[in-house]
Every structure is written in C-alpha cells, then in structure tokens.
Chains A and B, each alone.
Chain A
Amino acid sequence: EIVMTQSPATLSVSPGERATLSCRASQSVSSNLAWYQQKPGQAPRLLIYGASTRATGIPARFSGSGSGTEFTLTISSLQSEDFAVYYCQQYNNWGPWTFGQGTKVEIK
C-alpha cells in the first residue's frame, strides 16, 4: 500500500498570505494525485486532480504541482473561506486509493 504523508499537520496563516502544503508518497504515483478541501460538518470537495488540474469551479488561487513522490498545494492569497483541512490522495493503478492524514489551515 502506498503511504501518503502530509506536512505540516497544522499551518497558521494570516488572510491574504500564501499557504504551501506538502504531500509525499512512499513510492511514485506519477501524476495520479488529488487534493481535497474539507470544512467542519461538510463532505470533502475536490480541488485538484492529475497533480495540477483544477476541478470545475475551483478558484485560480489554488494550484497544484509535483510528480512522482513530491507534491505541493499552494493557495496564493488565503481567503476566509479557505480555512479548512486539506487532504491529498493518490490514485495510482486501480486501487487501493490512499489519503494523507490531512493539513489543517488555521487563522494566524
């Protein structure tokens, strides 16, 4: 099973600042990497797939990069609605899919 490791566990950022979240895979997943946002009491929402493609309706301030084992989600200028937990997920080959443990982005 591919293990996904996210860092940091918690990121404290002021509104308007840039946030950079990291995700590392225990083996190469090529570009088969997605990012999700989850707010309290809500289902997750897909932000990025294919490591760098924004899902429909996702603002341009969200961007993804990386391939192989190292990936990054960048939020260029944090808005109040962006404070949430973010998960990466690999979907290399057809199963099993695995999530990272999550990064909580909180208001500084």
Chain B
Amino acid sequence: QVQLVESGGGVVQPGRSLRLSCAASGFTFSSYGMHWVRQAPGKGLEWVAVISYDGSNKYYADSVKGRFTISRDNSKNTLYLQMNSLRAEDTAVYYCAKDSTDDYGDYVPLGYWGQGTLVTVSS
C-alpha cells in the first residue's frame, strides 16, 4: 500500500534553514508528481509546492518562492523540501502528498498524504 513518511521537522530559529524529507513506498515513485502542503496551527491548508514526476518542472506558492526548494531523488524514492530564511509564519505541519491517475487515465490530485511533520520557527 502507498506510504508517505515525512521527517526532518523540529524547532528552528528565524532566518535559519531546515530540510524536510518524505520517504515513499508502495508505488512507483518516479511516475508521479509530488506536493508539499502545510497547515499552520489551528488554520487551514496551504499548498506549498509541486514537482513533476521527473523533477523537470516545479511550482511554488508566492509565500515561499525564492526561499523554499522542492526536489526529489527517484533512486531513493524520496521527496525533499529545502526551507531557507525561515520565518515565524512558516510554522506549520508540513505534509507531502502524491498525485495519481484513475482507471480512466484522469488526473487525481493529492490522493495520498503522509502524516505530516511539524516545523516550529521560533527564537
């Protein structure tokens, strides 16, 4: 079965960096686009970034553009999020999520999610 396991969260000071990882299993990782979505404490969902199946295309939310970098290592079945110049407003649970297609070949967004990893930006 599909499993997505995030790691790398923790407490970090403003202005510092952190790298999150998402280990994938149970599917052909190199065939699917992957996303990061975050949720600040008590708030709603915010889409952060997406990377295509082969890493050739990436897109970011305006709130993280220029500070965060999404990447993947298909040989290791792992998705990453490099977060630089962290701010207090980046405090959130970060989820990785997987795209897929249905039996008709239609795109299915964010059908599988990890359990999330908490990032706290505080001095």
SS of B interface (majority): strand
Binds A, one of B12-20, B54-62, B74-82: B54-62
Chain A residues proximal to chain B, CB less than 8 Å: 1, 34, 36, 38, 43-46, 49-50, 53, 55-56, 85, 87, 89, 91, 94-102
Cα A38 to Cα B108 in complex, Å, equals: 18
Residue of A nearest to B4 (CB): A43
B66 is an interface residue with CB less than 8 A from chain A? no
User: In the complex the two chains form, is A87's CB within 8 Å of B45's CB?
Assistant: yes
Binds A, one of B23-31, B84-92, B109-117: B109-117
User: In the complex the two chains form, is B95's CB within 8 Å of A43's CB?
Assistant: yes
Partner among A38, A45, A91, A101 whose Cβ is within 8 Å of the Cβ of B109: A91
Cα A94 to Cα B47 in complex, Å, equals: 13
Given contact pairs A97-B47, A99-B44, A49 touches B109 in the complex (Cβ within 8 A): yes
Given contact pairs A95-B50, A97-B35, A102-B44, A89 touches B110 in the complex (Cβ within 8 A): yes
User: In the complex the two chains form, is B47's CB within 8 Å of A89's CB?
Assistant: yes
